[in-house]
Amino acid sequence: METAYVQSNQPDGVPPLELTGERTLPDVPEENYWYRRHLAVYEWIAARAVGQRVVDMACGEGYGSELLARTARGVVGVDANPEAHEHARLRYVRPHLRFERDLVERFSEQSDAVVFLQTIEHVQNPDEILEHFKSMLTPGGVAYVSTPNLLTLAPEGAEKSDNPWHVKEYRAAEFRALCDAHFPQVELYGLFHARKLRVHELAIRHLGWDAIHRRAGFTRPFYDRFTPAISARDFRLRLGDDAALAGALDFVAVCRT
């Protein structure tokens, strides 16, 4: 029987969400690695969206929309899921932030930036969606679109991971070509491990860390402490060509009109 993970310590009147694999959540210690991995990109965008009108498409639980609203002039978080929308609406209440329950293909509001993180791999119609985002942007506007790297997500040689929510997973060249087909200027960044996650990665690769902790029998005690201690600072974005980004965890496309 699989363990159900549900958000803990939610404010009064805010229904906690269950972790299903469709979206990442804060306040689930076992999910902290993925939450911080997403949060690092939201923080990077927030620093570039100061004073702008932002639409956060497929905003999920709402934590990213709230973070963007700390620097932006106004933020709309859009999600079609009724439970996620209700949770976000009740939990994240601040000036210049609102949440709309709608499909990303249908919601339209003029904006300086559209944010669409870790979702394009879920959709059947990526070309239509990118064209829709472009139509929403003011002159000089930017769409920030991220997706996991097929090469670091799926088993070697596979064309897709076992994530049932994913329709299509991309290599760097494929993702760049998709964005280039719709925007005149595209910069592609890769998200990589930094600080303690980089040390952990090197220990696995060069010291056989996975075999060591299993053989010594302290896998659970170690990761019960290590995983909740991961922060957004343990990830770093780097601009690069397709070869340099082959080992990235995620790709972040900065698409300018």
Distance CA 59, CA 79 (A): 6
Q: Cα angle vertex 72, ends 109, 147, to 5°? A: 70
Distance CA 96, CA 84 (A): 19
| Residue 101 domain-assigned (yes or no) | yes
Other CB atoms within a 10 A radius of the CB of residue 194 amount to 17
| Residue 18 domain-assigned (yes or no) | no
Q: Residue 46 sits in which domain range?
A: 29-193+238-256
136-147 pLDDT, tens per residue?
A: 999 999 999 999
124-133 pLDDT, tens per residue?
A: 999 999 999 9
Q: What is the pLDDT of residue 140?
A: 95
| Residue 62 domain-assigned (yes or no) | yes
49-92 pLDDT, tens per residue?
A: 999 999 999 999 999 999 999 999 999 999 999 999 999 999 99
157-215 pLDDT, tens per residue?
A: 999 999 999 999 999 999 999 999 999 999 999 999 999 999 999 999 999 999 999 99
pLDDT band at 2 (very low <50, low <70, confident <90, very high): low
Distance CA 72, CA 178 (A): 28
| Residue 230 domain-assigned (yes or no) | no
Q: What is the pLDDT of residue 1?
A: 47
| Residue 75 domain-assigned (yes or no) | yes
Q: Identify the CATH number of the domain in which residue 137 sits.
A: 3.40.50.150
The count of structural domains within the chain is 1
| Residue 7 domain-assigned (yes or no) | no
- In this predicted structure, the answer to whether residue 248 has a pLDDT above a threshold of 80 is yes
| Residue 14 domain-assigned (yes or no) | no
Residue by residue, what is the 3-state secondary structure of the chain?
CCCCCECCCCCCCCCCCECCCCCCCCCCHHHHHHHHHHHHHHHHHHCCCCCCEEEEECCCCCHHHHHHCCCCCEEEEEECCHHHHHHHHHHCCCCCEEEEECCCCCCCCCEEEEEECCCHHHCCCHHHHHHHHHHHEEEEEEEEEEEEEHHHHCCCCCCCCCCCCCCCCECHHHHHHHHHCCCCEEEEEEEEECHHHHHHHHHHHHHCHHHHHHHHCCHHHHHHHHHHHCCHHHEEEEECCCCCCCCCCEEEEEEEC
| Residue 203 domain-assigned (yes or no) | no
